Amino acid sequence: MSNNITTNAAPSGAADFRDVATAHTPFRTWRLLLWLVIAIVVVDFGWIVANNENFGWPVVAQYFFDPTVIQGLYVSLGLTVVGMILGVIVGLVIAIMRMSSDRLASGFASLFIWFFRGTPLLVQLIFWYNMSTLFPNLSIAIPFGPTLASWDTNSVITPMTAAIVGLALNEAAYMAEIIRGGLISVDRGQAETAEAFGMTKARALWRIIIPQAMRSIVPPTGNQLISMIKATSLVSVIAMADLLYSVQSIYNRTFEIIPMLLVAVLWYLLITSILNIGQNYIEAYYGRSDRRNAGAPKPVAVTEEASH
Amino acid sequence: MTAFVQPDGINTKPLVQARNVHKAYEHLEVLKGIDLDVMSGEVVVILGPSGSGKSTFLRCINHLEAIQKGFIEVDGDQIGYRVKNDRLEKLSANGIAKQRRKIGMVFQQFNLYPHMTVLQNIIEAPVGVHGHNRKEAIETAKGLLQRVGLLEKADNYPRQLSGGQQQRVAIARALAIKPKLMLFDEPTSALDPELVGEVLATMKDLAKQGLTMIVVTHEIGFAREAADRVVFMDGGVIVEQGKPEEVIGNPQHPRTQAFLSRFL
Ligand SMILES: Nc1ncnc2c1ncn2[C@@H]1O[C@H](COP(=O)(O)OP(=O)(O)OP(=O)(O)O)[C@@H](O)[C@H]1O
Ligand SMILES: [Mg+2]
């Protein structure tokens, strides 16, 4: 009893148990219980899905690496990559036009964004695909003057070009707004400093503004890329043999609809998971100047480590 | 270290010539006829109350802001314009960028490029704008960092430095382009009091080396010690100018007296 009182009163004794290094976490019963419930539900659901014959897992396994499916996968990935790259390039141009003080440029950019964001992608794809009904011939000509070259529209707009143009322009409209948001987020003083140092506008944009804007551009672009992969499934309506189209072509023969759709779903999930991981590394790269731990002034080493 | 004394010290054409400079934002007249000559190697300190147009005037000198009347010439160039067929023609943005390359500027908020290391910040303009050899630019940058006492911070990012260190890096960055003229806009106003000294010391060092400087500041002590001439601005005009001991020690104009009395 008396011992207890002395411990409380003596500052040296008090310091012992007040040192946070000695702190422990009490056992949290409710949390454990919640964990258990969730785990049981998840495992049970997995069990049901795995043992339900209607899912046709053996069929899924059989067709997972089927050449038709892999071919479709390549088409989907190819369309995503090409559409995204073109979308980012056109989007950057549109974003810069939108921010320019030139009325004509910013007006055109607004119109572009308004139209391509305001109409369904599916409709845009069908329009591009059926271009020949609107314009039977495509020609290069001097306005109100002579024609220099002319092509039959159907020979230029294949399902492939219709798909690429449709996806890229639609993507560009969204990317333009994402990029513009990123550029605006950079402190105005940066552009002014670059200007004061005699940089041209293009160089200031490329070296100073865009690298800083990347921090706010990358996360939504990751989103866009993932929705782009899924958006490529829309091109199956214009007879482009993408992943979805190829599993459809198989189940039209075998009538194993659910298993074949599962093949597509698993592939889409796999790709988006890989992209998520990639996005994390890119974000870490553009956030590197944020680390305050001055002890490690070797940013390159950090990113190299991260890529292992 | 090489000094900044200009070779043409004798045939005394001013390095900076401002004549009847007028500037307005919409209907707000900010500069109402400024005349100022700055000689090569001269250190001019501009004092004046808040809103008197000091920053605006400084930004007009390198054409970050366009003026509406009068002219400003730096080292023979009328920044933002050229004479063609006896007429004055507005230059394109890229043409103006070229003219600005001999003017260094240091900002109140430092404005270092946060995504680049200290060394990258310093060599960006010499390599990318002036086309200097990269290796030599790095050597020069290291020399400048040594001079502002921050050589060991070369590979750090700006956020890892204190405000005073950042401003010294910003000064080194501006010096790296070997400017004929340096503009300072309140370089110590964003700093904690205990960090002001290190930045002012760096600037005094530059002043001694004969660099031409125009400094907007509220540091009366710096003006007294380092300035060749003090210019007092109020309400968009130059009210009084002269040697620091005259303007600060014995101000003639009532507005100068009122302003300076606050610092006693
Ligand atoms: N971009 C702008 N648009 C409109 N008004 C402006 C702009 N920049 C400055 N002004 C106005 O011009 C006047 C002069 O501003 P300036 O920044 O040159 O003052 P200053 O003497 O530098 O003051 P301080 O000591 O507070 O920095 C102020 O009234 C300010 O509100
Ligand atoms: Mg100011």
Helix (H) or strand (E) holding A65: none
Distance of CA A122 to the CA centre of its chain: 19
Q: What does the block give as tokens for B150?
A: 């921050």
B217 lines ligand 1 (CB under 6 A): no
A232 Cβ neighbours under 8 A, 6+ residues apart: A75, A76, A79, A80, A83, A163, A167, A242, A243
Residue A294 to residue B156, Cβ atoms within 8 A = yes
Amino acid at A62: Q
* Alpha-carbon distances of A285 from A214, A280, A299, rounded to whole Å: 10, 9, 9
d(CA A264, CA A258): 10
Q: Which residue of B23, B25, B183 sits with most ligand 1 atoms within 8 Å of its CB, as the best mutation to test the pocket?
A: B25
Q: Is a pLDDT exceeding 80 seen at residue B10?
A: no
Mean pLDDT across chain B: 92
Q: What pLDDT shows up at residue A291?
A: 61
Q: What pLDDT shows up at residue A293?
A: 46
Mean of the pLDDT values across residues B34-60?
95
∠ at Cα B237 (B236, B239), nearest 5°? 135
Q: What pLDDT shows up at residue A301?
A: 37
B53 lines ligand 1 (CB under 6 A): yes
- Considering every ligand atom shown, identify the ligand nearest to the alpha carbon of residue B59 and give its number: 1
CB B100 within 8 Å of CB B80 = no
Residue A199 to residue B97, Cβ atoms within 8 A = yes
Mean of the pLDDT values across residues B202-220?
94
Amino acid at B134: R
Whether chain B has a CB inside 8 Å of the CB on A145: the answer is no
| pLDDT digit string, tens, across residues A29-52 | 899 999 999 999 999 999 998 888
Residue B129 to residue A193, Cβ atoms within 8 A = no
Distance of CA A133 to the CA centre of its chain: 34
Q: Please report residues of B whose CB lies closer than 8 A to that of A198.
A: 97-101, 125, 129, 177
d(CA B202, CA B185): 15
B56 lines ligand 1 (CB under 6 A): yes
Q: What pLDDT shows up at residue A13?
A: 52
d(CA B264, CA B260): 7
Q: A213 to chain B: nearest residue by CA?
A: B115
Question: Of A14, A79, A36, A82, which is closest to residue A238 (Cα–Cα)?
Answer: A79
Whose CA is closest to atom 3 on ligand 1?
Answer: B25
Q: B125 to chain A: nearest residue by CA?
A: A197
Whether chain A has a CB inside 8 Å of the CB on B160: the answer is yes
| pLDDT digit string, tens, across residues B56-78 | 999 999 999 999 999 999 998 89
Question: Of A186, A187, A205, which is closest to residue A92 (Cα–Cα)?
Answer: A205
Whether chain B has a CB inside 8 Å of the CB on A120: the answer is no
d(CA B158, CA B121): 9
How far does residue B204's CA lie from ligand 1's centre (Å)?
27
Residue B100 to residue A195, Cβ atoms within 8 A = yes
d(CA A225, CA A268): 12
d(CA B164, CA B161): 8
d(CA A200, CA B93): 7
How far does residue B55's CA lie from ligand 1's centre (Å)?
7
How far does residue B186's CA lie from ligand 2's centre (Å)?
7
Q: What pLDDT shows up at residue A71?
A: 94
Q: What pLDDT shows up at residue B70?
A: 93
Residues of chain A with pLDDT under 50: 1-10, 293-308
Who surrounds ion ligand 2 at CB < 5 A?
B 55
CB B3 within 8 Å of CB B210 = yes
Amino acid at B29: E
Residue B124 to residue A290, Cβ atoms within 8 A = no
Burial class (CB in 10 A: 0-12, 13-18, 19+), A194: buried
Residue B159 to residue A196, Cβ atoms within 8 A = no
CB A208 within 8 Å of CB B158 = no
B25 lines ligand 1 (CB under 6 A): yes
Q: B99 to chain A: nearest residue by CA?
A: A198
Which among A198, A207, A286 has the least Cβ separation from residue B100? A198
> Which stretches does DSSP call E strand in chain A?
137-141, 147-152
Complex ipTM? 0.89
Q: What pLDDT shows up at residue A12?
A: 52
d(CA B223, CA B186): 12
Amino acid at A84: M
d(CA A69, CA A66): 5
| pLDDT digit string, tens, across residues B156-186 | 999 999 999 999 999 999 999 999 999 999 9
